[in-house]
């Protein structure tokens, strides 16, 4: 018999489907119910087709406290701004929470208002959630009652830059291009995600104004890089899932391939889901469908004045798994005192 029970509030999207799939194969956690205002009464497999016949559960229209009743943990899969309205009722039940929206990732209410376009609905709760990046906050996540699971771009970029921040080598301006698949835009179709256009197109969006920017800055500052500036350009690509982030960092001319490699080897040698690759650069196909991230780099020659070298850090994730639902499951495992790899160890398809 499984030891723990979980519920999902907002389980009709792509992230919800991935959480459901992972919970159905989890050896220690039983999926008790899935709440949603969409598809009420329909079997989960009628909406998430690969789940057909795997469970008798149906989508239920439940109040947050009803969804949480009798459970040990609740996944909040609601949109930004909506989640903040529902979370307090779940917190009042005493159940642990993993929130997948951006509503509780930030500590700065003014940054939330700027990047999400509205004052925070519950500013009194800002700072009460642990930021759910295990590679930085594993100990805090283990003891947390509420975790804010990171965004997909944020996870990918942070994992690329975290070793530099910890070593005090991340300073000044960091320039980033992040290429992402269409599933990151959610299940509801739009002009930008409609396949006939997306499949033949590349375009930038929210240039220098993406909502993950303050999240990345807060996280890297906590890791040891206060005061850096981020110039982030996201790119919409003709693939359904995956993120490839390319970060440009200036480092002193004395840095070498060996010295930078040593930082990344020490940072990720014992991490179960981050691969530091040295013989090639990361690729989306190597991580798609899995909870793994890849990180690698290329180091340029010293500039003519001998003052700096350009370090290009490349990182790749599956935006729906390590960048979303998989990392949420990883956080749940830690919060419940389980092995953090449970239900996440598959390597994904190739190609």
Residues designated as active site = 152
- To the nearest 10 degrees (0 to 180), the angle between helices 134-142 and 325-335 is 40
112 vs 148: CA distance, rounded Å: 14
230 vs 161: CA distance, rounded Å: 12
Find tokens 């006939």 and name the residue.
196
Nearest to 129 by CA among 344, 333, 328, 341: 328
Strand partners, 60: 35
Cα torsion at 162, 185, 284, 338 (round to 10°)?
A: 60
216 vs 214: CA distance, rounded Å: 5
**DSSP characters for 1-40?**
--SEEEEEES-SSHHHHHHHHHHHT-SSEEEEEEE-SSST
162 vs 167: CA distance, rounded Å: 9
Residue 338's SS3 state is coil
- To the nearest 10 degrees (0 to 180), the angle between helices 134-142 and 152-166 is 100
């Amino acid at each position: 018999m499984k030891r723990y029970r979980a519920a999902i509030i907002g389980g009709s999207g792509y992230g919800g489907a991935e959480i459901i799939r992972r919970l159905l194969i989890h050896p220690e956690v039983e999926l008790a119910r899935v709440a949603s205002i969409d598809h009420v009464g329909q079997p989960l497999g009628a909406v998430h087709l690969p789940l057909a016949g795997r469970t008798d559960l149906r989508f239920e229209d439940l109040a947050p406290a009803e969804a949480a009743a009798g459970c040990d943990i609740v996944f909040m899969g609601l949109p930004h701004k909506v989640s903040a309205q529902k979370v307090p009722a779940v917190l009042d039940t005493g159940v642990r929470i993993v929130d997948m929206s951006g509503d509780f990732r930030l500590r700065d209410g003014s940054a939330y208002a700027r990047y999400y376009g509205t004052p925070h609905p519950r500013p009194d709760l800002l700072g009460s959630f642990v930021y759910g990046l295990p590679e930085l906050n594993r100990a805090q996540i283990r003891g947390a009652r509420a975790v804010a699971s990171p965004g997909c771009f944020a996870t990918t970029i942070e994992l690329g830059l975290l070793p530099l921040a910890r070593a005090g080598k991340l300073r000044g301006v960091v320039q980033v291009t992040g290429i992402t698949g269409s599933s990151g835009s959610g299940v509801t179709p739009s002009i930008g995600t409609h396949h006939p256009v997306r499949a033949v197109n590349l375009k930038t969006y929210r240039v220098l104004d993406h909502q993950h920017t303050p999240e990345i800055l807060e996280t890297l500052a906590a890791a040891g890089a206060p005061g850096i500036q981020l110039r982030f350009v996201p790119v919409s690509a003709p693939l359904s899932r995956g993120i490839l982030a390319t970060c440009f960092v200036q480092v002193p001319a004395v840095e070498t391939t060996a010295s930078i490699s040593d930082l990344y080897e020490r940072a990720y040698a014992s991490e179960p889901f981050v691969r530091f690759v040295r013989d090639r650069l990361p690729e989306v196909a190597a991580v798609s469908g899995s909870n793994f991230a890849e990180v690698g780099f290329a180091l340029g020659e010293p500039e003519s004045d001998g003052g700096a070298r350009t370090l290009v850090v490349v990182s790749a994730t599956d935006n729906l798994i390590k960048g979303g639902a998989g990392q949420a499951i990883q956080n749940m495992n830690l919060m419940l005192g389980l092995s953090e790899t449970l239900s996440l160890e598959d390597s994904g398809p190739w190609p």
